[in-house]
Chains A and B, each alone.
Chain A
């Protein structure tokens, strides 16, 4: 589904050049639940950003469902992100001034979807994460785990093919983290949604199909199956 070939990412300033990723070759299969681990600053988030088309690699090629994504316009990339990718962030990134339901509807605002259809899809997504009773609440009225569930609902409302989760349990205690992990597992299992998750938690990583490890911008191990 997602293929990274010889990915290289260099951050340049006037005086310094930082190699964030080098020679990354990675294939993510359809329906796979992949976790990425590595120490802080090893390039995990950079890699996730490149996978999510939020950042462009300095070198190499990204293809998604056999379509090479090089030279795409901003409009095309945005459309691609909107329709095919869902994002989950460690700090949730909910808009505090909007109720839960509106937060979940957000990706559909950038599609030609009617208001009533947006509402219906958002309600469905919230039901899936067990938050249908919190639709009118504001994020400030929710616990961390509930916020992350809202973020998951927002990620799945557009029925993406791929979910990219950047430390989704990083801000949560183990019980809440476990709840979130169960939802992700369920999405992967029931809907065949491909998930790539960056985590610092070995236990969470063990629950995914495959773990790849990054160190100093390079893949040091991959294809280590825990739960194939």
Chain B
């Protein structure tokens, strides 16, 4: 039966070409959308390596450019926070805190290998604030800075990029002119959004100009407490301003910047696929009404209703198959050529899901017209011809 269908399709190749083209384009669009979805989901499914629950970001403006004064003010705020029972942990941080809009990169080098990474300057209690977990090693301590060598904690991703399979803890690396010693490794730290891929990040002790603050507050901390806390910090100095943001809100804002374009893409894709489906539906209906005589003949010579229905669905699937073969040929070039530095598995899933989607759409579009074809009364169909 397949060779019979292929012969008929080949003979009608001109009229089937448009449908194959539609299928081909639909496949490519669906492949792009599915690949993006798989990529995004895979990132989402990875551990974040941090917890934003009850973490507040406090933007402090000490109203001074004097670094010595800023350090003194930082101490003042620290002492104040220690007296506030609702604050479980706190840490000062550079402005590129998780889910913020700032970024700060440094280039780390080790044995001629240079790797770019986000660099965060944070306090000793930062892991407790962010609920971080550790792989090998530990978090840095105040007395780790010896002889100008700065202790740093790096993510596993950065450790692998720099050292491969070697043990990272204790390695000395360079960042421009300064020397750093790796004291610990965090397996994950996805700080840009819930959909960020596992990336490079390094943590090192605070510098003198880092004045933003992260708080881990207790479950009893209310909005009223938030207002009181902000006021109490502002009152510690002259003309200080304090702005508090909840880190889960910051994360949601960042997530939205990823989710909304994907959602728009999905809607556009759904619209396109719907149109392709309608087109196929129309073409099949027209096809069937043109082939009533053939349907009548097939019924007369022994085809059952079900065989007629499957025949037309089969014909549609084979036509779709041609478009899909062409589509898959182009799609597999992406993992083969390692385009966009995305894992091959993402593209393979994208291809598989797009294949299933297109075949499903084809079968759905063919189902009703084929059912109508199967219900054609053979005596009438033969008479019409």
- Size of the A side of the interface (Cβ < 8 Å), in residues, is 29
Which one of A76-84, A124-132, A199-207, A220-228 contacts B? A76-84
What distance in Å separates the Cβ of B309 from its nearest Cβ neighbour in chain A? Answer: 11
Given contacts A74-B304, A83-B302, contact A93 B293 (CB under 8 A): yes
- List which B1-33 residues lie within 8 A (CB) of chain A: 1, 3-4, 7-8, 11-12
Which one of A32-40, A48-56, A177-185, A188-196 contacts B? A48-56
Other than the given A54-B299, A97-B12, A154-B301, 14 more pairs (CB < 8 A) read A45-B379, A46-B379, A52-B300, A54-B378, A54-B379, A54-B382, A74-B305, A75-B306, A78-B307, A89-B382, A91-B385, A93-B296, A93-B297, A109-B4
Closest to A83 in B: B302
Given contacts A55-B379, A109-B4, contact A98 B11 (CB under 8 A): yes
Given contacts A54-B378, A54-B382, A115-B3, contact A110 B301 (CB under 8 A): yes
Which residues from B are CB-within-8-Å of A93? 293-294, 296-297, 300, 382, 385
Is A95 part of the contact surface with B, judged by Cβ < 8 Å? Answer: yes
Chain B interface size range: 20 to 34
Closest to B9 in A: A97
What distance in Å separates the Cβ of B90 from its nearest Cβ neighbour in chain A? Answer: 78
Taking a contact as CB atoms under 8 Å apart, the answer to whether B303 and A110 are in contact is yes
Is B383 part of the contact surface with A, judged by Cβ < 8 Å? Answer: yes
- List which A48-104 residues lie within 8 A (CB) of chain B: 49, 52, 54-55, 74-75, 78-79, 81-83, 87, 89, 91, 93, 95, 97-98, 102
Is B174 part of the contact surface with A, judged by Cβ < 8 Å? Answer: no
Q: Main SS of the interface on chain B? A: helix
| Contact partner, A97, options B8, B301, B302, Cβ 8 Å | B8
Taking a contact as CB atoms under 8 Å apart, the answer to whether A102 and B305 are in contact is no
Taking a contact as CB atoms under 8 Å apart, the answer to whether B383 and A106 are in contact is no
What distance in Å separates the Cβ of B335 from its nearest Cβ neighbour in chain A? Answer: 38
Which residues from A are CB-within-8-Å of B385? 91, 93
Given contacts A83-B302, A115-B3, contact A97 B297 (CB under 8 A): no
CA of A78 to CA of B307 in the docked complex: distance in angstroms? 10
Taking a contact as CB atoms under 8 Å apart, the answer to whether B7 and A102 are in contact is yes
Taking a contact as CB atoms under 8 Å apart, the answer to whether A98 and B302 are in contact is no
Is A111 part of the contact surface with B, judged by Cβ < 8 Å? Answer: yes
What distance in Å separates the Cβ of A83 from its nearest Cβ neighbour in chain B? Answer: 7
CA of A46 to CA of B3 in the docked complex: distance in angstroms? 35
Is B298 part of the contact surface with A, judged by Cβ < 8 Å? Answer: yes
Which residues from A are CB-within-8-Å of B11? 97-98
CA of A91 to CA of B299 in the docked complex: distance in angstroms? 16
Question: Which of A45, A54, A79, A89 has most chain B Cβ within 10 Å?
Answer: A54
